[in-house]
Every structure is written in C-alpha cells, then in structure tokens.
Amino acid sequence: MKTVVHPTRAVVLAFLFAILAGTLLLSLPAARSAGEAAPLLVAFFTSVSAVCVTGMAIVDTGTYWSTFGQSTIMVLFQLGGFGMMTAATLLGLMVNRSPRLRTRMMTQAETRSLGLGDISSVAKVVLQVTVLAQLLLTAALVLRLHFGYAMGWREAGWSGLFHAVSAFNNAGFSIHPDGLVRYAGDALILLPLIIVIVIGGIGFPVLHDLRHRFRDPRHWSLHTKLTLTGSIVLLAGGFLAVLLLEWNNAGTIGTMSMSGKLLNSFFMSVSARTAGFNTVDIGALEPETWAVHYLLMFIGGGSAGTAGGVKVGTVVVLALLVLAEAKGHTDTEAFGRRVGAPAQRQAVTVLVLGSVIVAIGTVLLLRITHLPTDQVIFEVIAAFGSAGLSTGITPVLPPSGQVLLAALMFIGRVGTITFAASLVLGERRMPYRFPEEHPIVG
C-alpha cells in the first residue's frame, strides 16, 4: 500500500528540505564574496532566516555574500514567503489543470481558512499578485534609485529587485549595511514598500475575497472583515504609539521634519508586523517603543500570507470572545455572523502556544547570554514572529543562542500553522459526551 504523507507533516518536511538545500548552497565558496566557504552555522542561520522570511542576520548580507549567495537568499525567501504548499499547487496547475486531491489538501494546511474547492483559485491569485506586485515595486525602486541616487542601471536593477522581493515576502533582508536608513526621508522609496508589504502580509484568502467582491463589502467573508479591521486598528495604533513615544528621540525621528516623523512612524508600524525593514536604529528606540514592537511583532499579519506571528485573525477572535464574555453573551459575534466554537478554541490554542514558546525562548536565551531582559525579549519575539528586527545583539550571540533563534524562527513560521491545521484535519465528533461541570475561573 502506498504511504500517504499527512498534509501537516508535508509542510514541515518541505520547509526542512528548503532549509537544508539553502544551507548547502550558502556553504559553497561561490556564495561568499571572499571566495571561501562560509562557516556552517552562518550558512544554516541565514538559510533558516530566509526560508522562514524572518530577515535576521549574523553577517552583512550585502558585503559577506556574493551575487550568487544573495541570489540564493532571495530565492529562499521567495519560496518561504510564497508558501511551500501554494507553490506545490501552482506546479500542479502548470502540469495539469486539475491538481491531485492530496496536493490540494497539502495546500489547505497553509490556507486553512478556505474550502477545498477554493485552493486552485487562490493559487492563481497568489501567482498573479506575487508577479504583479514584485514587478511594479521593482520598476518603482529601480527608477527612483537610478534617477534619484545616481545608481547605474545594473546596480539599481539588482537593488530594486532584491528589496522588492524581500518586501513582498515580508522577509526584511537588505543588501545595505544600515538597512533602509539611507532612505528614511524618501517617500518615493518607503511608500511603495509600505503598499507591497501590506499586500503581501494581509493574507491571500483576503486578496482572493477582495478580488471577487471588492465593490460588495457586505458579502466579504467574516475572515476578510476581521483581518482588515484588525489590521487597520494595529497599523493606526502602532503609528500613533511610535510617533508619540519617539517624537523627541534624537536617536530615531526626533531630528526629522514633521513629514519625516509621520512617514517613518508609519513605516515602523507597518514593518514591525513582520516585514523587518528598519529606517532608524532599532537599538536607539525608547524602551516603551520596544514594548509596542513586542505586541506588533507577536501578532504579525494575516493568515495564509507572507507574514508571521500568531496572526491578526487569532487576536481579533479572542478579543471578540472576551467582549462577548464581558457582555454576558453566549455567542461570539461580529458583522452579523457568529464565530464558530472550533475557531475560538483554535485561536486560544495558537495564542497560548505562541506565548509559551516565547516565554521558554526568553528564559533559555537569558540563561545562555545574561543580556538585558528587554533586548532578549525583543530578539525572541522578532524571531518567533518572523519580524527580523534586532536591537543589535543577534550577531554577537554565542552559537547556542543563534541556534535557539533559528529554532524559534522555524517554529514561528511552521509550528503554529502546522498545529492549527492538525486541529482542523483531526477534528472529529465523539460518540459520547461527559457530564458538564463548571470549575471556578478568575
């Protein structure tokens, strides 16, 4: 009998295979600008960070890696952000207009908010949006870099393409040593990046819904409404918090003009939700702003997109659950719809698991390094949430600390997705129910 790999296990194996392949390629002498083989830990950490679209780095991407190495990294975060199972479905569509049921189920493990019959349609939207968004952003960046910064066409072309792919996939990798600090005052660079980061991170089920019902919001799915509402609240709240907390901070936006403060505060609010780009020195942020970043990085973006975190939908469902409990309502409701009990249980499970993983990671990294607690918490949440931002301690961590961050990146990108999918795929009705009792809570 032919062995069938469980969809959730296939997701993990696909990511592990990509990480292994990336490690081997980055270990080649041709991948390093110095012409020597990179240490195994450097190659492994970079591969994990790229496949998990995190953007954390222990070496400077632009100077340490050759063009071949940078191209390998770009391909890795394109695969990781695109979604291994979505890519598998697209390959099936290219070869055969009717992909196998098993392949479609594997893809559903990552796009779990959709029905089985929607997978092919979503896969097409993924391909169209990915190609179009990256091409348009590449063109915008290339033109700006060439005419605004006097870059040659070849240099501008590579920089534009690399940052466009990185932005759409919420990867946060940059070939500049200072990230995007040099563009902090350039709206023609940052605004297109913001748009594409949001598109990539909002989630493909939402894009699929908007594509077919853009002018009919009444018929948007509840998932789309909750994700869009939550995203707007987080973006606006993050923007206002960063703007107020950093207003007089000379190390970040304190010396900028009014327009510069507004632009960079909004960019930080967007980027903190897993994109991982920085236009200011993250290490110079106020401690309170770090705390705001904790929240934004932990929540992340929309489900089944390129963003990480526990996802906006998870947090919104939990907020609705709390609101319903406070009002004494038996049902959790939003936009004229009732949120199903399975979705509520899954949201609680994902949040609890994420919190436990972050707590364990923080304790272990504190034990390994003895660094300040606020910096350690920042690095751990950034790794788990696929945010990629850093206060500057990642390159100086001991090997054990870097391996721990690599594990957190992998769990953050794969673990919660896989577990949530396993809950859905493994759900079954029991032929009996135990007597009900009400323990004291709170």
Residue-wise pLDDT for 196-247, tens only, equals 999 988 887 888 888 888 888 888 989 999 999 999 999 999 999 999 999 9
Burial class (CB in 10 A: 0-12, 13-18, 19+), 1: exposed
Does the pLDDT at position 116 exceed 50? no
> What count of other Cβ atoms lies within 10 Å of the Cβ of residue 143?
13
pLDDT (tens digit per residue) in 21-63: 999 999 999 999 999 999 999 999 999 999 999 999 999 999 9
Question: Taking the domains of the chain in order of start, what are their residue ranges?
Answer: 7-424
> What count of other Cβ atoms lies within 10 Å of the Cβ of residue 377?
21
**Which of the four pLDDT bands, split at 50, 70 and 90, describes residue 384?**
very high
Reduce the secondary structure of the chain to three states and give it as a string.
Answer: CCCCCCHHHHHHHHHHHHHHHHHHHHCCHHHECCCCCCCHHHHHHHHHHHHCCCCCCCCCHHHHECHHHHHHHHHHHHHHHHCHHHHHHHHHHHHCCCCCHHHHHHHHCCCCCCCHHHHHHHHHHHHHHHHHHHHHHHHHHHHHHHHHHCCCHHHHHHHHHHHHHHHHCCCCCCCCCCCCHHHCCCHHHHHHHHHHHHHHHCCHHHHHHHHHHCCCHHHCCHHHHHHHHHHHHHHHHHHHHHHHHHCCCCCCCCCCCHHHHHHHHHHHHHHHHHHCCCCCCHHHCCHHHHHHHHHHHHHCCCCCCCCCCCCHHHHHHHHHHHHHHHHCCCCCEECCEECCHHHHHHHHHHHHHHHHHHHHHHHHHHHHHCCCHHHHHHHHHHHHCCCCCCCCCHHHCCHHHHHHHHHHHHHHHHHHHHHHHHHHHCCCCCCCCCCCCCCCCC
**Which of the four pLDDT bands, split at 50, 70 and 90, describes residue 260?**
very high
When the pLDDT of each residue in the chain is averaged and rounded to a whole number, the result is 86
Does the pLDDT at position 283 exceed 70? yes
Higher pLDDT, 206 or 89: 206
Q: For the ranges 25-34, 58-67, 134-143, 426-435, which has the lowest average pLDDT?
A: 426-435
pLDDT (tens digit per residue) in 308-325: 889 999 999 999 999 998
pTM of this prediction? 0.88
Does the pLDDT at position 368 exceed 80? yes
What percentage of the chain has pLDDT greater than the value 90?
61
Does the pLDDT at position 107 exceed 60? no
